[in-house]
Amino acid sequence: MATCLDELDETIKLLEAQIPANPASDKNESIQKRMQKSLAQYFRNIDQAIDWNALEQLYYRNVIIEEAMTPADWKRAYAKGTPHWAEDMEPSQFAKDFIKLMKAHEVKSILEVGCGNGRDSIYFAKAGYKVTSIDIVPKAVELATKNAKKANVDIDFKVASVEKLPFDDEGFGAIFTLSVLHSTNLKKSLPEVYRVLKIGGVAFIYIYGDTQFEDGKETEDTIAFSDYLADLKALGFKVLESYKDNEREFDDYGEKHHIFVVYLEKN
């Protein structure tokens, strides 16, 4: 692409050199038309030469994918009190469904990435699994630890980032992460999930594909679903099940999301 821009710059310089010093010159109009014609032809040539679909895929494979919600945003949300997503202690339906997959694969240990108030980690622990749970926000880990004590279950909670997990390779039979990884650099977090998962282990990942805003602000795009699946397969995951969906209503933050859900096995 840099070569195209260099050529364009040279073309413009050559055309500008033909413009008379006197802008009012009669020659100006004919030169201007020739310049317009040359530039139009140049851009037609570019359009025909570039595979725009391949260029878009190249972008999504290499861009650092980040969501507007940063670790600092998560911390600010907890600093204001218990955020809305940490109020409900009923385990998610996704956690209930994931246990069926874990049983089928005879999994014994699980890592939850982004524990929030600990509701799903507590559910896994009550079901008899050895549970390790992380969150990047210390107050979330503090809240989840208190809830686990109330539930009388033993869970290893840690403050940690999924972009650099403090665990050995292949340390867990399963990994569960609900509505978290879209706030990370997927080029770092997905390889870490793969690294700490055992061969034959299973993973559940739920992320936002993009975000629409109630106030009319421009939609935030993150990653195309097809490219997301391709990235997972390139890491070595087998996609057992995948689907995408759209939220029907705006949430408390005035946001509505496209959702990507995948069930994975590490080959």
Examine the domain organization and report whether 126 and 14 are in the same domain: no
pLDDT at position 122, please? 97
pLDDT at residue 52 tops 90: no
Average pLDDT (182-198) is 94
Q: Which residues pair with 258 in a beta bridge?
A: 210, 246
Residues 143 and 230 both lie in one domain: yes
CA–CA distance, 107 with 200 (Å, rounded to integer): 9
**Between 112 and 224, residue with greater pLDDT:** 112
d(CA 84, CA 90): 13
Residue 142 has, within 13 A of its CA and on its CB side, a CA count of: 8
Whether 56 is in a domain gets the answer: no
Q: Are residues 120 and 219 in the same domain?
A: yes
Strands 197-213 and 255-266: antiparallel
Residues 124 and 219 in one domain: yes
d(CA 82, CA 105): 35
> Residue 78 domain-assigned?
yes
Band (234; pLDDT cuts 50, 70, 90): very high
Domain that holds residue 34: 2-50
The chain-wide mean pLDDT, for the chain, equals 82
Within a domain: 55:
no
As a whole number of angstroms, the distance between CA 253 and CA 249 comes to: 11
Q: Which residues of 12-40 are buried (b: 16+ CB within 10 A; e: fewer)?
A: eeebeeeeeeeeeeeeeeeeeeebeeeee
CA distance 133 to 3: 49
Q: Is 59 part of any domain?
A: no
Please name every residue paired with 223 in a beta bridge, in sequence order, or none if there are none: none
Decide which of 242 and 87 is more confident: 242
What's the whole-number mean pLDDT along residues 226-241?
95
* Whether residue 9 is found in the same domain as residue 104: no
Interatomic CA distance for residues 132 and 79, integer angstroms: 24
Residue 169 forms part of a structural domain: yes
What average pLDDT does range 98-109 have in this prediction? 97
- pLDDT reading at 222 higher than 80: no
| Dihedral angle sign, alpha carbons of residues 123, 129, 134, 139 | positive
Q: Are residues 18 and 73 in the same domain?
A: no
pLDDT digits (tens, 9 = 90+) for 53-71: 555 455 444 444 444 455 5
Compute the average pLDDT of residues 183-200.
95
Q: Is residue 39 located within the same domain as residue 166?
A: no
In this structure, the answer to whether residues 24 and 111 fall within a common structural domain is: no
Tell whether 91 is covered by a domain. Answer: yes
pTM: 0.68
The pLDDT of residue 254 is 76
Q: How many distinct structural domains can be found in the chain?
A: 2
The answer to whether residues 81 and 178 belong to one domain is yes
The reply to whether 223 and 99 lie within a common domain is yes
pLDDT in tens, 12-43: 676 666 666 565 666 677 777 777 777 777 77
User: What is the predicted pLDDT for the residue at 101?
Assistant: 97
Collapsing DSSP states into helix, strand and coil, what is residue 80?
coil
Residue 76 lies in a domain: yes
57 lies in a domain? no
Max alpha carbon distance in the chain (Å)? 90
What CATH number is attached to the domain comprising 234? 3.40.50.150
For residues 255-267, average pLDDT: 90
pLDDT at 148 over 80: yes
pLDDT above 80 (res 108): yes
Q: Are residues 72 and 130 in the same domain?
A: yes
Asked whether residue 98 falls in the same domain as residue 13, the answer is no
